[in-house]
Amino acid sequence: MANSPLRKELHEENRLSWNEATKAHNSHKGNQGKFFLEGGSTLFPEEVELLGDINGLSVVHLQCNAGQDTLSLARLGANVTGVDISDEAINFAHKLAQDSGIDAVFERADVFDWLEQAANKSKYDIVFSSYGAICWLSDLNLWATRIASILNEGGRLVLMEFHPVAMMFDIDLSHKFPYFRNGEALTWDDGVSDYVAESNTGLAPDNYQAGIQNFSNPYRSHEFQWGIGEIITALLQAGLILITFKEYPYSNGWKPFDNMKEEPGRRMFPPDNTPNIPLMYGIVVIKNGCIDINF
C-alpha cells in the first residue's frame, strides 16, 4: 500500500499485550456463560439505539475482544461475525458461544487483513465497532476504505467510542496529553492495563470477582489517538455518508478518572464541580442507497 502508515509490527506487539490483558479482564467477570444463559446482554442503550433493528441482518463486529457484545448482537437476531487480533480473546469467545448456546462466528485476524480478505468474499449490512477500538488502528484511511468495501449498498457502520477529548487528561483530570497526534504511535511500556479491575462493577456488572490481582503486563502496547475530525474525514473520503454524530458527557462503564460520579445505567461522569467534557461519541455512516432505519 503506497504511503500507508500501516504499522503491522506494532499491531503484533499489541496482540501479545491484549492476550495477557484479556486473561486478567475475564478473571473479574464471573460466570459469563451463566449470564448469557439467563438472558443477559452486555450492550448499552446508546449503541442499541444507533444500531436500530438488526433482526435478520448480517453484522460484523470488528475488534470484538472476548465476544460478549458479539453474542449480545446475535441475541438481537443478527447473523454476527466477531473479529479480533487476540488469540486469547477469540479462544474465549468460542468457548463463551458454546457455553451460552448462542450462534456467532469468531475469527482471529488483524482487522486490516480481515477486511481486505472479506471484500472478495461477502458483504455485510452492518459493521459495528465500539469502546476502545479506534485507538489501535495505525491507518485510519485504509480502515475506512476497507469498511466501505465490505458494506452492502445501504449498509451502515455504527461506531460507539470513547471520546478523544477524554484521552487528553490524566487520572486526576490534569491536561497531560495532546489532542492532535498526526497518527504518531503512543507507546505504553506497561502495556494494556487491567482497566476492568480499575472500573470494578462498571465493567463487570454481573458479579465482580477479585480474579487476577496486581496484574502487570509483560508486553508493551502502541496506541494511535485520532481526533474526531480525522475520523469523520476518513469515513467521508471513503465515500460513506454521515447520518448521525452524537457526543455524550459520560462514559459507559469505564472510569478513566479518580472520583467519578456514577449515575444509573453505569454512566460515569467527571467528579462534582468539574465542568463537563465529552466522554463518548457515536457515529453512523451509510453506504449509498437508502434503507429503512428504524431508530
Residues of the shown chain interacting with ligand SAM in the complex, contacts defined by CB under 6 A: 11, 14, 18, 63-65, 68-69, 84-86, 89, 110-111, 130-133, 136
Nearer to ligand SAM, 40 or 154 (CB): 40
Residue closest to ligand SAM (Cβ): 132
Nearer residue to ligand SAM within complex by CB, 9 or 153? 9
The CB-of-40 to ligand SAM minimum distance in angstroms stands at 14
User: Closest approach of Cβ 272 to ligand SAM, in Å?
Assistant: 28
The terminus-to-terminus CA distance of the chain in angstroms comes to 38
Least distance CB 170 / ligand SAM (angstroms): 19
Give bridge partners of residue 106 from the DSSP assignment.
82
Q: Could you give the CA distance from residue 208 to residue 35 in angstroms, rounded to a whole number?
A: 12
**202: CB partners within 8 A, 6+ apart:** 253, 254, 255, 262, 266, 268
Cβ 136 to ligand SAM, closest distance in Å? 3
Coil, strand, or helix at residue 156? strand
Q: 36 or 131: whose CB is closer to ligand SAM? A: 131
Which residue do the cell numbers 449490512 mark?
A: 125
> Closest approach of Cβ 26 to ligand SAM, in Å?
11
The β-bridge partners of 151 are: 124
DSSP string, 23-54: HHHHHTS--HHHHHHTT-----HHHHHHH---
Whose Cβ is closer to ligand SAM: residue 82's or residue 155's?
A: 82
Give yes or no for a contact between 69 and 42, defined as CB atoms under 8 angstroms apart: yes
User: Given the complex with ligand SAM, which of 58 and 288 has the nearer CB atom?
Assistant: 58
Give whichever of 41 and 288 is closer to ligand SAM, judged by the CB atom: 41
The least CB distance from residue 66 to ligand SAM, in Å, is 7
- Report how far residue 120's alpha carbon sits from residue 246's, in angstroms, rounded to the nearest whole number: 33
Q: Report the DSSP beta bridge partners of residue 107.
A: 83
Q: Report d(CA 4, CA 112) in Å as an integer.
A: 12
